[in-house]
């Protein structure tokens, strides 16, 4: 066991601040890094020491692994926390940190390597009893073989980049005719975005929900799961609203998913905090998607319902301590929801909307947590992910957590840029969300920019939402082929919940 005394956070914004807050509580001194664009950021002011890495572009600052390591050595830093994004899933960086005699607050480089490739991950878990989405187990090298497999699986299918991430590198193929052209596009996109052209195919689950399991493992082989997070409200395959627990997961399903997630972790000798992502179909079958070998953006909802500080646990694990609790000690307390506040314009296809935060006032009061990295008057730089804050509520039950979130959104005052707050308010007031009857197609099914312009009361918008659901049900009954239930995506979930 080696006690960490000085921690460098190789990240920026809200996650850098969030990690340093826990470090301070633990008596660990903190080092922030920043780019020229972030010179005045709260994470820089909060740290005990701060170092400028270079100009704004990530490739000249936050991605300079070697520079971060050599600065760490100069400053006698004994551990580096990578946060999420940037270098967090870079096995080579984790290895160099270790070789420099510095603790990497995360899993081993080997675990990162295996799970960083969706194909290697599937191979690693194949010896365990973990359900996988039907598809190819290896990278596609022969188009005609892949086509035959696709015909067996049945269209639509998804072509995925093995090295993909952040919702990028996926292509839906509706029928055999477009297979080759989509395949060519997928390979060239994968090469240019991830430097690796390996792609594979997966059955495209219609009406899917994204439900993931948080795990924690120590370096002695103990692994526990901290229940699920439902992340089905997405745009561009990227999450915007997350909650724990899920509205549809039963205790039996929770245990089955938890056990599967622990199996995935064991398959790669995992230690640290990690997330095992599953896709769930409308019959509540779940399939392993991928493992994220880092702290997740939406980790706060798990902290709220379990009472555990995941960053503190990460640090303990990195120090070599044994987990201080077992699976039986973990319980779900109440319900928590997170909405991601992105500097994006929902009226314009959720495209980034960069500018200055002329007004920026956070909501307050019982059960509210805001993880952010900006202050009023600051400009949102164009160089990075446009997420400016995460708004989290915690309450006794799901309904109260939703009501609390709507209250908090109404209190949140942001001007100068467009954000996803209005969209999130719409989603949370929507009948489909309230009933738990939704999937990853929520935006496509229900959202049009017009809904943001009306200043309806909650009751009025709920009524409209119910009418919209009825209308859509009639419409989609005719227009959605391939639905084995003969109904709509929407109604499959409804049947289950009623
Ligand atoms: P999470 O997976 O934690 O729920 P996101 O999917 O939004 O959240 O990813 C977290 C961050 O990591 C985002 O900034 C995203 O852009 C970035 N990211 C994830 N995977 C990759 C990747 N393979 N390459 C580059 N950036 C990535
Ligand atoms: P990433 O590394 O980009 O996060 P994932 O494999 O986790 O990639 O998938 C991201 C999202 O894409 C999922 O949350 C889900 O919405 C959608 N998705 C992924 N695989 C499938 C599938 N087989 N069928 C339907 N949707 C899928
Ligand atoms: Mg994912």
pLDDT in tens, 428-468: 999 999 999 999 999 999 999 999 986 555 566 667 667 76
Going from the Cα of 202 to the center of ligand 2, the distance in angstroms, rounded, reads 10
Q: Is-contact 363 304, C-beta < 8 A?
A: no
- Rounded to 5°, the CA angle 277-224-30 comes to 85
Strand 238-244 to strand 223-235: parallel, antiparallel, or no bridges (unpaired)?
antiparallel
Which residue has the least CA distance to atom 14 on ligand 2?
210
Q: How confident is the model at residue 165 (pLDDT cuts 50, 70, 90)?
A: confident
C-alpha torsion 159→160→162→163, nearest 10:
140
Q: Which of 399, 373, 427 is nearest to 234 (CA)?
A: 427
Q: Residues of the chain with pLDDT > 90: what percent? A: 87
CA distance 260 to 258: 5
Could you say which DSSP state residue 492 is in?
H
The mean pLDDT of 78-96, rounded to a whole number, is: 98
Q: For helices 398-411 and 421-429, give the axis angle rounded to 10 degrees.
A: 150
- Map residue 339 onto helix, strand or coil: strand
Task: Enumerate residues lining ligand 1, CB below 6 A.
Answer: 84-85, 165-166, 238-239, 292, 296-298, 385
CA distance 258 to 266: 12
315-330 residue pLDDT tens = 999 999 999 999 999 9
- Please compute Rg for the chain using Cα positions: 22
Domains along the sequence of the chain with CATH: 6-105 (3.40.50.20), 134-203 (3.30.1490.20), 209-453 (3.30.470.20), 459-497 (no CATH)
Please state the pTM of the whole predicted model: 0.91
* Ligand 2 site-directed mutation target among 189, 209, 289, most atoms within 8 Å of CB: 289
Q: Which of 354, 413, 358 is nearest to 385 (CA)?
A: 354
Q: Which of 80, 102, 314, 91 is nearest to 219 (CA)?
A: 314
The confidence score (pLDDT) of residue 464 equals 67
Q: Is-contact 158 204, C-beta < 8 A?
A: yes
Q: Is-contact 88 114, C-beta < 8 A?
A: no
402-419 residue pLDDT tens = 999 999 999 999 999 999
* Ligand 1 atom at minimal distance to the Cα of residue 86: 26
33-78 residue pLDDT tens = 999 999 999 999 999 999 999 999 999 999 999 999 999 999 999 9
CA distance 338 to 391: 6
* Ligand 2 site-directed mutation target among 237, 296, 445, 489, most atoms within 8 Å of CB: 237
Annotation marks residue 496 as catalytic: no
Q: Is-contact 386 352, C-beta < 8 A?
A: yes
Which of 395-428 are b and which e, b meaning 16 or more Cβ less than 10 Å from the residue's Cβ?
beebeebbebbeebbeebebebbbbbbbbbbbbb
Q: Is-contact 312 26, C-beta < 8 A?
A: yes
Phi, psi of 340 (to 5 degrees): -90, 125
Q: Which of 272, 299, 296 is nearest to 111 (CA)?
A: 272
What element of type H or E holds 119?
A: helix 118-125
Contacting residues for 313 by C-beta, under 8 A, at least 6 apart: 216, 273, 323
Q: Which residues surround ligand 3, an ion (CB under 5 A)?
A: 277
The confidence score (pLDDT) of residue 489 equals 44
139-151 residue pLDDT tens = 998 888 889 999 9
SS3 assignment for 191-253: HHHHCCCCEEEEECCCCCEEEEEEEEECCCCCEEEEEEEEEEEEECCEEEEEEECCCCCCHHH
The mean pLDDT of 13-27, rounded to a whole number, is: 98
- Statement: residue 476 has pLDDT above 80: no
344-402 residue pLDDT tens = 999 999 999 989 999 999 999 999 999 999 999 999 999 999 999 999 999 999 999 99
Helix (DSSP H) and strand (DSSP E) numbers for the chain: 18, 20
Q: Residues of the chain with pLDDT > 70: what percent? A: 92
Q: Which of 322, 226, 320, 312 is nearest to 275 (CA)?
A: 226
Which residue has the least CA distance to atom 19 on ligand 1?
166
* Ligand 2 atom at minimal distance to the Cα of residue 205: 24
- Average pLDDT of the chain to the nearest whole number: 92
Tokens standing for 111?
A: 């675990």
């Amino acid at each position: 066991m080696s006690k960490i005394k000085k921690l460098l956070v190789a990240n920026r914004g809200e996650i850098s601040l969030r990690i340093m807050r826990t470090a301070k509580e633990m008596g660990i001194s903190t080092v922030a890094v920043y780019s020229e664009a972030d010179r005045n950021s709260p994470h820089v002011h909060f740290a005990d020491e701060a170092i400028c890495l270079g100009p704004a572009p990530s490739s000249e600052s936050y991605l300079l692994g070697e520079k971060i390591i050599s600065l760490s050595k100069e400053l006698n830093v004994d551990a580096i926390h990578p946060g999420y994004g940037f270098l967090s899933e870079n096995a080579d960086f984790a290895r160099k940190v270790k070789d420099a005699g510095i603790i990497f607050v995360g899993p081993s480089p080997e675990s990162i390597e295996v799970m960083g490739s969706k194909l290697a991950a599937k191979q690693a878990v194949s010896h365990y009893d973990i359900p996988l989405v039907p598809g190819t187990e290896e990278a596609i090298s022969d188009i005609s073989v892949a086509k035959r497999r696709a015909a067996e699986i049945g269209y639509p299918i998804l072509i995925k980049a093995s090295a993909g991430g952040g919702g990028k590198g996926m292509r839906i193929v509706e029928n055999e005719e477009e297979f080759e052209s989509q395949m060519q596009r997928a390979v060239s996109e994968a090469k240019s975005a991830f430097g690796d052209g390996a792609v594979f195919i997966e059955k495209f689950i219609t009406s899917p929900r994204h439900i993931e399991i948080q795990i924690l493992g120590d370096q002695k082989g103990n692994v526990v799961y901290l229940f699920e997070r439902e992340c089905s409200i997405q745009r561009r395959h990227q999450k915007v609203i997350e909650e724990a627990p899920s509205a549809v997961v039963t205790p039996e399903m929770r245990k089955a998913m938890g056990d599967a997630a622990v199996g995935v972790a064991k398959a790669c000798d995992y230690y640290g905090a990690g997330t095992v992502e599953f896709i769930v179909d409308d019959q509540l079958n779940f399939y392993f998607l991928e493992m994220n070998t880092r702290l997740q953006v939406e980790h706060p909802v798990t902290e709220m319902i379990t009472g555990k500080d995941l960053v503190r646990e990460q640090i303990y694990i990195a120090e070599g301590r044994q987990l201080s609790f077992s699976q039986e000690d973990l319980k779900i307390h109440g319900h928590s929801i997170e909405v991601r506040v992105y500097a994006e314009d929902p009226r314009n296809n959720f495209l980034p909307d960069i500018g200055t935060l002329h007004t920026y006032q956070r909501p307050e009061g019982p059960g509210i947590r805001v993880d952010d990295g900006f202050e009023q008057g600051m400009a949102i730089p164009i160089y990075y992910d446009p997420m400016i804050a995460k708004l989290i509520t915690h309450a006794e039950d799901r309904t109260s957590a939703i009501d609390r979130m709507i209250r908090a959104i109404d209190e949140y005052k942001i001007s100068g840029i467009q954000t996803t707050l209005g969209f999130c308010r719409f989603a949370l007031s929507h009948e489909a969300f309230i009933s738990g009857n939704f999937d990853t197609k929520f935006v496509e099914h229900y959202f049009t920019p017009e809904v943001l312009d009306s200043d309806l009361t909650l009751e009025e918008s709920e009524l409209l939402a119910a009418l919209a659901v009825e209308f859509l049900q009639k419409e989609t009954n005719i227009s959605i082929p391939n639905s084995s239930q003969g109904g709509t995506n929407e109604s499959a979930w409804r049947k289950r919940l009623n």
